Amino acid sequence: MQTHEIRQRFLDHFERNGHTVVPSASLILDDPTLLFVNAGMVPFKPYFLGEVPPPYRRATSIQKCVRTLDIDNVGHTTRHNTFFQMAGNFSFGDYFKEGAIGYAWELVTSAQDAGGFGFDPDRIWVTVYTDDDEAANLWQKVAGLPEERIQRRSGKDNYWDMGVPGPGGPCSEIYVDRGPEYGREGGPVVDEDRYLEIWNLVFMQDQRGDLSPKDGHPPVGELPSKNIDTGMGMERVALLLQGVSNVYETDLLRPIIATAERLSGRRYGADASDDVRFRVIADHTRTGLMLVGDGVTPSNEARGYVLRRLLRRVVRSARLLGITEPALGEFVATARDTMSPSYPELATEFGRIDAVVRAEEDAFLATLTTGSRIFDMAVAETRAAGGTVLGGDRAFQLHDTYGFPIDLTLEMAEEQGLKVDQEGFRRLMAEQRERAKADAAARKTGHADASAYRSVLDQHGRTDFLGYTDLTAEARVVGLLVGGQPAPAAGEGTEVELVLDRTPFYAEGGGQQPDTGRIVADGAVLEVYDVQSPVEGLNVHRAKVLSGEIILDAAVHAEVDATRRRAVSRSHSATHLVHAGVRRALGTSAAQAGSLNAPGRLRFDFTSPGGAVPPSVLADVEDEVNDVLLHDHDVRAEVMTMDEARRSGAIALFGEKYGDAVRVVSIGEYSRELCGGTHVHRSGEIGVVKLLSEASIGSGVRRVEALVGMDAFRFLAREHVLVAQLAEQFKARPEELPERIGQTLEKLRTAEKELEQLRGAQLMSSAGSLAEGAEDVHGVALVAAVVADAVSGNDLRKLAGEVRNRLGSRPGVVALFSVDGAKVSFVVATTAAARDRGFAAGKLVPTFGPAVGGRGGGKPDLAQGGGTDPSGVSAAIDALRREVARVAGT
């Protein structure tokens, strides 16, 4: 049975039993505690925590998950995967233990012809929490399991909670006996390789306190409603139903290994070291495919760093298998074929995904060549010094300068028998990130702990946002924080955070900057300078009390700065048009990777693995966008289901979190996107869009900046005045200016070259007089002089060489200095006869260099250097004269 069939059977079973089928959420959710979704219940956390009422009593899903803690184990075992699919069924105050056990037993043991998985009931074992007699009895009553195949385990194994105070409960795990060839008899408590866990049923009934029942501490109370949260590992069920011994032999991963076998000429199972590499390629390729599919792009930070690390491990593992040509594209294409039956968007978006991974491979292959040389040098230096630990500064240099993930450095060092100073590396990384992290944290959550916001949300519910239609509103203060702490009141001059029950103020999000404005209460006026949503569903207004006193529960009048809002909305609508124009020009691989919508300007980031966008293409995009403005299309916002939005052709931004109901913003038929921001009513209100620049901001990611509305008009007006002035000065029509300016620049370059040649000739003509003026120092001809100012280093070397030639066969030392502002340049040259008497140019430099605040070096016949103290040139010449006299007199 193929994995996508297993997936569909699971969903069909629970849909038949009254469950709402919920599509998998993106791997990226707006949860500050998670890098990626790592469990099937994560998208349902707000329902379990009671933050949001669930829209259904029963639900089922197959959730995409990524766990990064297992990266180092991948390949070395046949059990660990970074990506996996978690099938689950959920009850929110509906059925409880008996229902969960009954539904699971029916699906697991029903015949395949009847829609089940067809496992032999006599090979099923379960575990329950040590004192959960109810679950143990239900397994006998509902499933007919004999008591000897129901084993009890402690909270370490059979109790679940989130690791913090909140909901939790005992759980019951379902195991399948694979037979004596896989291990010892005695059930899961004896051998979990033979008895393979496939499903965990969590009975959420407790409220845990600071100490967890997992560690033997009692819960502090019961939940007001009992919930069910289950998780079945798709990969484990697949290996059992497909009759293979581990997950790498299933239909989702074995084809990727087969591709690696074909490209490398080696065989999986023939060599233990090669097998590790085959498994790394299979696992990381699939995870990389899924991450890029959900909008992650390679970078050196956070999610992008994990993706980069995974893809680069694939490339390096392929190299170690002897694959010298780029192969990541082929691996990802194979993974697409295995995964797209379950996730069809991988096929439709594959052009973009393929472009991203190929660009990363190309970048890493160049990095690998350069970085490996630097790594080899660092290893050689460490060994030469008798060390066994590669310095943290070298590891940081490899990461920061050459793009080597620290994990790659660790792997390569281990292969060389060395360790790495990881503490030193982490310290340097922390210093680099500290400022950015502090700034980002302050921006999103201010000074308050998230629990303070959650408390307001729990008591008063979500903020009612009115800003799509209203810029003013009457509201009530339901939350007031000062310095991050709840406060009953705040007086004049105080910085506060206000939560209103309803608001016209837009909280920063989706690239759109927040609204500003005023909040007025009886006897108090506040200036709102920022609005954030640190907790989903809550708009927090950051404001300063300009006069009077604001109190909790006060009635207020909230008023948005309408001029700023309209300017920001014009930029946001213009960003949608630029996005549509870029996609039309470059294809679907040009996916939005970030944006900024500010008054009068916008910034639009997009994936462009092909590199820079030609100016002609940008010009076409600009023309097309402004043509849309000219036609003054209607701008509509509609709320629909996600499926309806997809069918309508709406673009979803990868990595954004969307609910069941989504808002689709359409600009005529030209642009259609999922968006929660504010927009103009008609495209003509935007006025004009002027694209200013296009540049790279990272591997495969480009940035377009543009001006909008009056800002764009003023820019064009300034450009017009400038062009008119140039046309007047050059006595040419505007269209002739590029050619005329080019001709003038060419004439200037030619003149500069001729002038440089004249300077050089004039400088070289002084060689004879310098040589004739040599002073005799104990039989050595010394030429030490300051030549013309601002002479290039190359000309200074040529002159010193010419003077040396004119000294003929005499022992001679030539030292020439040139001053350019606060900089000193010098060159020292020696004749062969002088070198025979012990004079070496490179050794003379240290004797006078300090006098000009500098240093240098070179060979015995020629040396050069520089300094920063022109006032010391005379002292330097005196020091050189003394050194020549000393050496010549010995």
pLDDT in tens, 594-611: 899 999 999 999 888 667
DSSP assigned state of 301: S
- pLDDT number for residue 655: 46
Considering the domain architecture, whether residues 63 and 32 belong to the same structural domain is answered as yes
CA-CA-CA-CA dihedral for 721, 723, 725, 727, to nearest 10? -150
The answer to whether the CB of 473 falls within 8 A of the CB of 504 is yes
Of all residues in the chain, the percent with pLDDT exceeding 70 is 95
- Asked if residue 581 and residue 551 are part of one domain, the reply reads no
pLDDT band, residue 70 (cuts 50/70/90): low
CATH code for the domain of 92 = 3.30.930.10
Domain that holds residue 20: 3-246
What is the reported pLDDT for 792?
A: 78
- Residues 641-685 have pLDDT tens digits of 888 888 888 877 644 555 567 899 999 999 999 999 999 999 999
Residue of 251, 255, 206 lying closest to 229 (CA atoms): 206
Which of 184-193, 214-223, 694-703 has the lowest average pLDDT?
694-703
Statement: residue 433 has pLDDT above 70: no
Residue bearing tokens 């590992």: 233
Query: Of residues 435 and 534, which shows the higher confidence score?
Result: 534
Q: Is residue 216 part of a domain?
A: yes
What Rg, from alpha-carbon coordinates, does the chain have? Answer: 36
Using the predicted structure, report yes or no on whether residue 889 has a pLDDT greater than 60: yes
The predicted structure's pLDDT at residue 447: 44
Please indicate, yes or no, whether residues 683 and 769 belong to a single structural domain of this protein.
no
Q: Is residue 393 part of a domain?
A: no
Among the residue ranges 301-305, 513-517, 695-699, 747-751, the one predicted with the least confidence is 695-699
Short-list 701, 699, 703, CA closest to 361: 699
**Nearest C-alpha neighbor of 107 from the set 43, 63, 99, 39:** 99
- Of 550, 543, 572, the closest CA to residue 467 belongs to 572
Q: Is residue 482 part of a domain?
A: yes
Of 21-35, 79-93, 384-398, the range with the lowest mean pLDDT is 21-35
Q: Which residue has the higher pLDDT, 344 or 51?
A: 344
The CATH number of whichever domain residue 539 belongs to comes to 2.40.30.130
225 vs 482: which has the higher pLDDT? 482
Q: How far apart are CA 126 and CA 810, in angstroms?
A: 100
Q: Which of 133-137, 160-164, 737-741, 820-824 has the lowest mean pLDDT?
A: 160-164
Provide the H-helix boundaries in 385-484. 392-400, 406-415, 422-445, 450-460
Q: Which residue has the higher pLDDT, 735 or 52?
A: 735
Q: Which residues touch 495 (CB under 8 Å, ≥6 apart)?
A: 482, 542, 543, 544
13 assigned to some structural domain: yes
Handedness of CA 625, 628, 634, 640 (dihedral sign): negative
Measure the N-to-C terminal CA separation of the chain; round to a whole number of Å: 94
Which of 560, 592, 622 corresponds to the end of one domain? 560
Q: What are the strands, taking DSSP E only, across 416-493?
A: 419-420, 464-465, 472-482, 485-486, 489-490
In a domain, 46, yes or no: yes
Q: Please say which residue of 560, 588, 612 terminates a domain.
A: 560
In a domain, 762, yes or no: yes
β pairing state of 862-867 and 855-858: antiparallel
Q: Does 668 lie in the same domain as 644?
A: yes
Strand 221-233 to 83-92 pairing? antiparallel
Token pair in block for residue 631: 């036609």
Instruction: Kindly state the average pLDDT of the residues 206-227.
Output: 87
Angle at 185 between CA 181 and CA 189, to 5 degrees: 120
Residue 368 pLDDT > 80, yes or no? no
List, in order, residues 6 or more apart from 297 with CB less than 8 Å away. 304, 307, 356, 593, 607, 698, 699, 700, 701
Task: Give the amino acid at 127.
Answer: T
Same domain flag for 209 and 307:
no
What average pLDDT score do residues 166-183 get? 93
Q: What gap in Å lies between CA 454 and CA 432, rounded to an integer?
A: 32
How many domains does the chain divide into? 5
Distance CA 323, CA 313 (A): 13
Residue 679 annotated as binding? yes
- Which of residues 246, 261, 278 is at a domain's end? 246
- The residues near 764 (Cβ < 8 Å, ≥ 6 apart) are 798, 799, 802
| Dist CA 75 CA 84 (whole Å) | 15
Residue 528 placed within a domain: yes
The most confident of the ranges 332-336, 390-394, 395-399, 414-418 is 332-336
pLDDT at position 439 over 70:
no
Do 501 and 573 fall within a single domain? no
98 lies in the same domain as 8: yes
Q: Check whether 576 is labelled as a binding-site residue.
A: yes
b/e string for 768-807 if b means 16 or more Cβ within 10 A?
eebbeebeebeebbbbbbbbeeebeeebbbbbbbbbbebb
Tracing tokens 């991974």 back to the chain, one arrives at: 357
Sorted by sequence, the CB contacts under 8 Å of residue 545 that are 6+ apart come out as 490, 491, 492, 493, 494, 496, 524, 525, 526
Q: Averaging pLDDT over each range in 389-403, 586-600, 873-887, which range is the top one?
A: 873-887
DSSP SS3 for 109 = helix
Instruction: Check pLDDT > 50 for residue 374.
Output: yes
Query: For 866, phi and psi rounded to 5 degrees?
Result: -155, 165
Evaluate whether residue 736 is within a structural domain: no
CB atoms within 10 A of CB 33: 11
Determine whether the annotation assigns residue 675 to a binding site: yes
| Structural contact between residues 65 and 86, judged by C-beta atoms closer than 8 angstroms | yes
Size of the chain, expressed as the number of residues it contains: 890
Same structural domain, 167 and 219: yes
- Judge whether 171 and 101 are in contact, CB under 8 Å: no
Distance CA 443, CA 178 (A): 53
CATH of the domain at 579: 3.30.980.10
- Assign 403 to helix, strand or coil: coil
Interhelix angle 272-293/302-320, rounded to 10 degrees, is 150
Q: How far, in Å, are 469, 675, 684 from residue 633 at the CA level?
A: 19, 18, 7
Which amino acid does the sequence have at 625? Answer: V
If asked whether residues 218 and 98 sit together in one domain, one would say yes
Residue with tokens 């006897």: 523
258 and 205 within one domain? no
Residues 550 and 578 in one domain: no
784 φ, ψ (degrees, to nearest 5):
-130, 110
pLDDT at 458 over 90: no
Give the pLDDT confidence of 778-813 residue by residue, as tens digits: 999 999 999 876 677 788 899 999 999 999 999 999
Domain harbouring 836, CATH code: 3.10.310.40
CA 377 remoteness from chain centre: 30
Average pLDDT across the chain, whole number: 89
**The two structure tokens encoding residue 337:** 């074929």
Q: What is the largest CA-CA distance in the chain?
A: 116
Contact 782, 811 (CB under 8 A): no
The total of other beta-carbon atoms located within 10 Å of residue 48's CB is: 21
Cβ atoms of 288 and 332 within 8 Å: the answer is yes
**200 and 281 inside one domain:** no
Q: Are strands 195-208 and 221-233 parallel, antiparallel or unpaired?
A: antiparallel
**In Å, how far are 79, 434, 456, 528 from 495, measured between CA atoms?**
53, 25, 19, 10
Please state, in angstroms and rounded to a whole number, the distance separating the CA atoms of residues 172 and 130.
10
The CA–CA distances, whole Å, from 85 to 3, 62, 470 equal 10, 6, 43
Q: Residue holding tokens 């890029």?
A: 292
For the residues 622-638, what does the mean pLDDT come to? 94
